[in-house]
Amino acid sequence: MNDGSVNGHPVVKRLRGISEPVVTKSQEFVDDVHEQWEASDSLVIHKIQDLNEIGFGETHAALTFKEICRIDPVIPKTLCLGR
């Protein structure tokens, strides 16, 4: 531990060994729930997704600006400098 790192400490190694399966299993659970959410035929889920998109989705202006940036990265800089 001359490098100041605690990664080599036996306690840290033990905790890492215990936590890795938990993290893996949790990520698998999250992925399963996300897949079920996206593939749901429930009208309630679709309504929640629509409301989420309305409340947190990008506006038409933001999508347009993003597309402009993708096509020509110089144009947005010119537009911003002109203000």
User: Tell me: the pLDDT tens digits for 25-51?
Assistant: 999 999 999 999 889 999 999 999 888
Q: How far apart are CA 18 and CA 15, in angstroms?
A: 5
Residues 2 and 9: beta-carbon distance below 8 Å:
no
Check residue 78 and give its pLDDT: 67
Give one DSSP letter per residue of 57-76, joined into a string: SPPHHHHHHHHHHHH-THHH
Please provide the average confidence, as pLDDT, over all residues in the chain.
82
Structure tokens belonging to residue 29: 């659970």
Query: Residue 31 is part of which domain span?
Result: 11-39+58-80
Check residue 80 and give its pLDDT: 64
Check residue 1 and give its pLDDT: 43
The total number of structural domains that make up the chain = 1
Check residue 72 and give its pLDDT: 83
Count CB-CB contacts under 10 A for residue 69.
Answer: 13
pTM here is 0.46
Structure tokens belonging to residue 82: 């002109």
Give a yes or no: residue 6 inside a domain. no
Give a yes or no: residue 46 inside a domain. no
Structure tokens belonging to residue 41: 């035929």
Give a yes or no: residue 71 inside a domain. yes
